Structure 1
Amino acid sequence: MSDHSHLSAIRRWRLAPVVTAAALTFASCVVYAQQPGPEKKSFQPSTKTSEAFGKLKPLQDSQNWAGMLTLLDGIAIEPNSYDEALILDMKAKIYGMTNQLGKAIAPWERAVELSDKYGYFPEKAVLDIVFFLGQLYAQEATTSKDPKLQPGYFTKALTYFKRFLDKTPKPTPEAVSTYAMLLYYKAVADPNKVDQVMLQEARKVVENALTTAIKPKESFYQLLLALQQQQNDLSGSAELLELLLKQTPNKKDHWQMLMGLYLQLGEKVKEKDPTLAREYLVRAILTAERAQKLNFLNTPKDNMNLVSLYLLANQFTKGTELLYNGMKGGTIESLPHNWRILGRYYQEANMNAEAVKVLQEATKVFPTNGELEVQIAQIYLQMEKTKEAFEHAKAAMTKGNLEGTKPYGVTYLVAYTAYELGNIDEANAAIGSAEKFEESKKDQQFARLRDVVREAIAERESKNKPKEEPKKAASR
């Protein structure tokens, strides 16, 4: 799973429910009243505003939201007054109840501005609005398709969330994770200019949440994983995935990702520390096998990948055994290419006889495939069994259906093995066929073979030419 898919999952799971919860709170048309104190004023709405608010309840009960907004718009207010702040707050709540969340932003922002300046609302009420604004801007930032607007939305969302978190002794895990997520999104908004400082800030927020929570939310782990990957912290990502899989081993994508991380780590250190690179390769193999015990990573492609890992680790016996049994049992696709891989790795293990055996078995499964015959011929050449090599080279030329070898190469192989066996005529015929290919004009080995074969034919014809009678020769 990529960084983007991790964060997309977090966004869908976190932001939408939070905003919905905020909207549901709009149902109570409560008028904020600042509690009087030694240094606080007590604010009261005007008579007209109080009367208008009294008429809102029946309209709300009948869900006449348009009527509520019309009523509020009809109140004559004094600019910057407490009445203005109350009415703006109520309008924002109504927009929320009607799922017009974008329209709630402007009145709420103005209400907060007035309260900050004149102290109209209690701090808790202001923080509630600030929290809602943070969520609404987060929603705008993560759903907007206008790249010019997104940075501003992110900045606003982060500003409101930071204010809320700074003033809230025990914020909810959802609030903290959303703030960290927004830091991440803003940091990577421009892929060509990732803000590493902001990424690190997001990581500190997440790590602090993980160390202070008794039972951290899974979203924190997912977000930390995305941050680690963005920072190219492969080792940290692997450690975190091991922890996540220990807790919830049924996450298929995590197994795939962990195996990939171990392979990347091995590739990264293979030049400087081959021993450590091999250790990471072994971890990748064990990860795949652990996943398979849980019925993950067990598709034919996954099984073939595991074979490749064993072969990469020079465990040819285990790798070839898995490949052969897999193709026979149907857990790995029985394809000519896979049979050829099996033959090649038997060769690398110096098991030429076994290589020939499995390739000949493959020719029965794929009787028209010429590439298998080419590979058998080449192995026989290495075993210095030229006769067998010649037979299979001819079979390859007859069958065709070559996957990697060019027809010219097969024809040349027939010519060469025929010459080695002393079959000059067959060698010459194959050379004649090979000369039709463009490759023959640039191949110096072919030119030498052609010359040698034709010299042999000329010599043979010279020997077989009848000698002249002595008398005829003397009369000249």
Structure 2
Amino acid sequence: MKNLLRNSLKIGLISISLCILSPSLSAAEKSTAISPWLYKQLSKAEGFIGKQAYPQARQKLQKILPDLDKNSYEQAITLRTLASVYALENQYKKAAKLLEQALATGALTEQQQQEALLNLGQLYMATEQYQKAVDKLAPWLKQHPETKNTQVRVLLANAYAQLKQYRKAIPYIEYVIKHSKRPKESWLQLNLALYYELENYSVAAGVLRRLITQYPNKKNYWQQLASIYQQLQQHRNALTIKHLAYKKGFIGSESDILQLFNLFLYNNQPYQAALLLSKELDIQNVKQTSTNWELLANAWTNAREYKHAINALEKASTLHEKGDLYLQLGRIHVEQELWQAAITAINEALKKGSLKHTGEAYILLGMSYYESGHLKPAQKAFNNAQRHPKTKKSAGQWLNYIETERRS
């Protein structure tokens, strides 16, 4: 979950591009606000910028700065342009210092000041000076609460998030989301990450539902929502989301399929669980191991589909190195009164060996032989069962019963 915040912040910063390109002056500003000489110098610098000849542009601007009046509009514009060059060269700290100087002149127009302020906030974020971004942007936004500039609020939300002041970040990002017909994915991701950090999973689930609505083909949102529902102990909702994701083709790994299988079982839907696993075993999205066939057999058994359970358990028993699964298969055959099948399965169990309940195996074998009318093999099996403490008494009772029956 911590990674979610880091990723959302990274996406957020990418989406807030550093648009600190060389500012273009209006025709009126060109003719009245700056001198013809400075206009000519700035035009040359802009020409270098257009050709991506940033060192030449930087040298040109640095050369003319000492000739400009302090705190003048001309100085502010030149500083702002020089900041643009440093930003284009990825020298963000130097760009930030120059932009601070441009703002400190107090000579920029209201619109230019707003643009420079936003650019400065971006530069602070790019250089991990998050508190500076807050200190610069929050007061300005307080003075301009009606501004429609969404980037300022997004920057503030990102800055507070980086400072781990998650509750302060939420109002800014939620304001932007609320006032947008179709919020950007990065905004919703940041909103989601903040609620994750605050461990407010019920609200996070709501954000994820919105992300799924806007981006239904992004499987990670489906998986995250299912995980949140499980964390909230809302297992039926988790199953619904996970099953929908499966139908959309977003669940293909063995681990994810088995998670869905277990969710069906947890929600008392063994038949649906068995159908799922049976299909995935057949197409080999789930490995055909003894363990997985046993899982399928148990699901079919819980669904009272004994024929299917027997088929699955036979495959599991064949693959298992010990005889326990054959013994389990024998139990099912005994319950179904399939005596010959029970005899075959239990003999295979004894042949493989390493049984946890050997005495029980001989008891079941003796019962199956008896019901099939084979008394001598039945007696032999019960004699073997007598050698095991837990089944000694039961085996003796069967032997006495057989002997009494033979005498009568």
- CA-to-aligned-CA distance 1:16-56 (integer Å, 9 cap, x gap): 45444x23x316478997xxxxxxxx9x88x9xx7466434
Aligned-pair CA distance for 1:157? 1.5
1:303 aligns with 2:257: yes
Asked whether the 8 Å contact 2:327–2:361 carries over to 1, the reply is no
Aligned to 1:376: 329
| CA distance, structure 2, for counterparts of residue 211 and residue 107 of structure 1 | 35
1:220 to 178, 187, 195: 187
Task: Note if contact 2:261-2:277 (Cα within 8 Å) is conserved in structure 1.
Answer: yes
Question: What is the aligned partner in structure 2 of residue 395 from structure 1?
Answer: 351
Q: Is the 8 A contact 1:131 1:164 kept in 2?
A: no
Q: Which residue in 2 is equivalent to 1:104?
A: 95
Q: Structure 1 residues 261 and 95 mapped into 2: Cα distance closer, same or farther (>3 Å)?
A: same
Aligned length: 370
Answer whether contact 1:32 1:86 (CA < 8 A) is retained.
no
| RMSD over aligned Cα atoms | 4.1
Which 5+ residue runs of structure 2 have no aligned equivalent? 367-378, 397-408
* Cα distance in 1 between the residues matched to 2:287 and 2:242: 18
User: Which residue matches 2:220?
Assistant: 253
Cα separation, 2, equivalents of 1:346 and 1:97 = 65
Is 1:66 the equivalent of 2:55?
yes
C-alpha distance in 2 between matches for 1:206 and 1:396: 65
What amino acid sits opposite 2:94 in the alignment?
K
Letter in 2 for 1:251: K
Helix, strand or coil for the counterpart of 2:126? Answer: helix
Cα separation, 1, equivalents of 2:325 and 2:363: 22
Q: What does residue range 396-475 of structure 1 map to in structure 2 within 5 Å?
A: 396-397=352-353, 407=354, 410=355, 413-414=357-358, 417-418=361-362, 423=380, 448=389
Change beyond 3 A, Cα 1:325–1:334: same
SS state of the match for residue 22, structure 2?
Answer: helix
Q: If the length of structure 2 is used for normalisation, what is the TM-score?
A: 0.73
CA–CA separation in structure 2 for the residues paired with 1:184 and 1:225: 12
Seen in structure 2, the aligned counterparts of structure 1 residues 59 and 371 have a Cα distance that, compared at 3 Å, is same
Task: Indicate how the Cα distance of structure 1 residues 125 and 379 shifts in structure 2: closer, same or farther if over 3 A, else same.
Answer: same
- State the Cα distance separating 1:250 from its structure 2 match: 1.4
- The question of 1:5 aligning with 2:4 is answered yes
Q: CA deviation at 1:305?
A: 2.5
Equivalent residue, structure 2, for 1:172: 149
* Alignment partners' CA distance in 2, 1:202 and 1:84: 35
What is the CA-CA distance between 1:135 and the residue it aligns to? 0.2
Q: CA deviation at 1:223?
A: 2.1
In structure 1, the partner of 2:79 is 88
How far does residue 312 in structure 1 lie from its aligned partner after superposition?
A: 1.0
1:334 to 288, 292, 295: 288
CA distance in 2, matches of 1:59, 1:317: 74
Tell whether the 8 Å contact from 1:138 to 1:154 is kept in structure 2 after alignment. Answer: yes
Displacement after TM superposition at 1:299 (Å): 4.3
Q: Does the Cα contact within 8 Å between 1:29 and 1:90 map onto a contact in 2?
A: no
Identity %: 21
> Counterpart of 1:91 in structure 2: which amino acid?
L
Q: Give the Cα separation in 1 of the matches to 2:55 and 2:67.
A: 20
